[in-house]
Structure 1
Amino acid sequence: MLYFISGASRSGKTLVAERIFREHHIPYMSLDWLVMGFTNGIPEYGLHDKLFPDEIAERLWSFLNAICESMIWSGIDYVIEGEAILPELICEFLDKHPGKVRICFLGYTDVDIEQKVTEIRKHSAGELDWLTKEPDNYVRQHVENMVNHSRMIKEGCAKTGMQYFDTAEDFMASLDAATAYLIHQPEDKTS
């Protein structure tokens, strides 16, 4: 089974992936790692970390699709998490592999920007967190961009029938719900 967790930056995708790894021993890969591989390894490809998530998703999809096809063929269980997946792009892949893929999206469409900036500062991973070194106005702009991205993702999920969890209200409860949706979803509802 492949599990995809996508959506906005700072919506809890990595936390869900890490929880699944700890509790169910299913490894995960962050799409951030792939993007940084392109950014620093083959910059001539034009896929880099300064693009908006939808641009990254569109440029990365054919590569990611090929990787995921191989993973399905190999029959391994794996979680793939990151911003670089759009509902519209992954529809065909889901239809092609019924019962072998589960996906959900996370975001925050109606969040208090200043509160989110404070939470990011409070829960940052220190030096490993790329936003740590950025000033508040940069972080604020990032959050505003991710609110817009969340709205786009939520709309895409509504159009394609995919599950969207909004983490703006009760962050941890939303992550619990997303984890339960991915891991405990009845087989007949998977597509």
Structure 2
Amino acid sequence: MIFLISGSSHTGKTVLAQKLLEKYKYPYLSIDHLKMGLIRSGQTTLTPEDDDKLTEYLWPIVREMIKTAIENNQNLIVEGCYIPYDFKNDFSEEYLESIEHVCLVFSENYIKNNYKEIIKHRNTIEKRMDYDYSKELMIRDNNKTFKECKKHGCEYILINKIYDIKWRLSSY
């Protein structure tokens, strides 16, 4: 089984991946780690701020890693914001049968009421570079993510009142 976890920054993708790792003992790939490895090694001139270009650059690599894992009957958790909303177009039905995807989305209401708490937990699993991710930018990013999820028929978890992610933790 391949678990894909996408969503905007700070929504808890890495925390959910860690929970799945602990429950199923499946390895997981942080697309951020791949991104930083390629940037730091000089394999690309892109920077961490080049989000759209990074998706175009990273997704073909990650997509083929997913196909290889499926072909070898291996389990894998992949998390990151560089999974395109139309990712299903890149896989045949045979591959899609082995892929579970969810996109984590904060509602505008949740962000307005919990912004300080969200920022407080941004380093729960990984230490993040200190940058200004304003409430307004977070709202904009999550609104865009929600719109794109609906447009492309992606499964999503809309976090509106409380942060309680239990996706697939009891399904397998």
TM-score of Structure 1 vs Structure 2, range by shorter chain: 0.7 to 0.9
The CA distance in 2 between the partners of 1:147 and 1:86, in whole Å, is 19
Pairing 1:10-159 to 2, within 5 Å after superposition = 10-43=10-43, 45-52=44-51, 54-93=52-91, 95-110=93-108, 111-113=110-112, 115-116=114-115, 118-125=116-123, 129-131=127-129, 133-134=130-131, 138-140=132-134, 143-159=135-151
1:179 counterpart residue number: 168
Q: Which runs of 5+ in 1 are unaligned?
A: 186-191
Residue aligned with 2:82, SS: coil
Q: Give, in angstroms, the shift of residue 56 of structure 1.
A: 2.0
Structure 1 position 85, deviation (Å): 0.6
- Percent identity, please: 22
State whether residues 107 and 147 of structure 1, in contact with CA within 8 Å, keep that contact through their aligned partners in structure 2. Answer: no
TM-score (normalizing by structure 2)? 0.84
Q: Counterpart of 1:167?
A: 159
74-83 or 154-163: bigger deviation: 154-163
C-alpha spacing 1:28/1:12, structure 2 compared with 1 (3 Å): same
What is the deviation of 1:23? 1.4
Higher relative helix content: 1
Alpha-carbon distance between aligned partners in 1 of 2:81 and 2:160, rounded to the nearest angstrom: 17
For normalisation by structure 1, the TM-score amounts to 0.77
Q: Retained in 1: the 8 A contact 2:111–2:138? A: no
Structure 2 unpaired stretches of 5+: none
Question: How far apart, CA to CA, are the structure 2 residues paired with 1:49 and 1:166?
Answer: 26
Q: How many residues end up aligned between the 2 structures? A: 170
Tell me how far apart the structure 2 counterparts of residues 112 and 120 of structure 1 sit (CA, whole Å): 8
Deviation at 1:66, TM superposition (A): 1.7
Q: Which amino acid aligns with 2:168?
A: T
Superposed CA offset, 1:77-111 (max 9, x none):
11000111121134332645132111110121313
The 8 Å contact of residues 2 and 70 in structure 2, kept in 1 or not, is answered as yes
